[in-house]
Structure 1
Amino acid sequence: MPLFVYGTLMRGERSHELLGRARYLGAARTAPSFELADLGAYPALVRGGSIAVLGELYEPDRETLAALDLYEGCPDLFQREPVDLDGGERCEAYLMPAAQLRGVARIASGDWRTRRR
């Protein structure tokens, strides 16, 4: 299943190299049913909002996915779960439970790269 990334793993961001040999499939957007929390150094995708979050889609191999799980603290910090993209395609993404993010600012645009504008 493809992997949707929306923060520091995207092209040009500081952790992109962790995607290793993963094949880039293109820009993507989630269905409008999420929120994007701003944790300062990185974002967190949260179910239950009304925002379509912008990101990129990759096809990682098992080794890369295992390394990403470690990096993302999965399953203790983030959980890798299926999500719907705008248009109905399904993929996986790293999400954080809303209960862990009470009081954390949200990025209303759904775009990590434009959060400070």
Structure 2
Amino acid sequence: MPHADATLRHVFVYGTLRRGGRNDIARYRPAPVFVGMAVVSGTLLDLETYPGVVLGGCGRVHGEVYRITPSVEAELDVLEEVAPDGSGEYLRKQVQVHVAGADLACLVYELHPSRAAGREVIASGDWLAKR
């Protein structure tokens, strides 16, 4: 019999889903489990009331990693406007994230490239520090 946690995944959150943010991930049920503070390679962009990340490059984006259930993942897809054909505001990617001294495969919601042009870069890579 497979272990009950086999369907759980990890998600890296960097904006309003972080603790204390207006979309705090703790509001979802079943409650996501905090794994640790984390960093991913990328550039953080200011979309005025929330951020977006462009993955890759030499920048560092700060956030938090949580273990989530498939039902929470589905709710996050709705919040982030992920479209099956890739045309939504965000694209759900799986990347290696550095958390608690190790690399962990995590879902990351990356801003659709068509929405990144002309956006201000958040040099600190930390949405909460900007707020």
Q: TM-score, normalised by structure 2?
A: 0.79
Q: Which residue in 2 is equivalent to 1:45?
A: 53
Q: Tell me, in whole angstroms, the C-alpha distance in 2 between the residues paired with 1:80 and 1:54.
A: 18
Are 2:10 and 1:2 equivalent residues in the alignment? yes
Letter in 2 for 1:45: V
The reply on whether 1:24 has 2:11 as its aligned counterpart is no
1:102 matched to 2:127:
no
Aligned residues: 114
Moved more, 68-77 or 12-21: 12-21
Structure with greater strand percent: 2
RMSD, aligned α-carbons: 1.5
Instruction: Give 5+ residue unaligned stretches, structure 1.
Output: none
Structure 1 residues 2 and 82: alpha-carbon distance in aligned structure 2, compared to 1, 3 A threshold = same
Partner of 1:56: 64
Structure 1 runs, 4 residues or longer, greater than 4 Å off: none
- Alpha-carbon distance in 2 for matches of 1:69, 1:83: 16
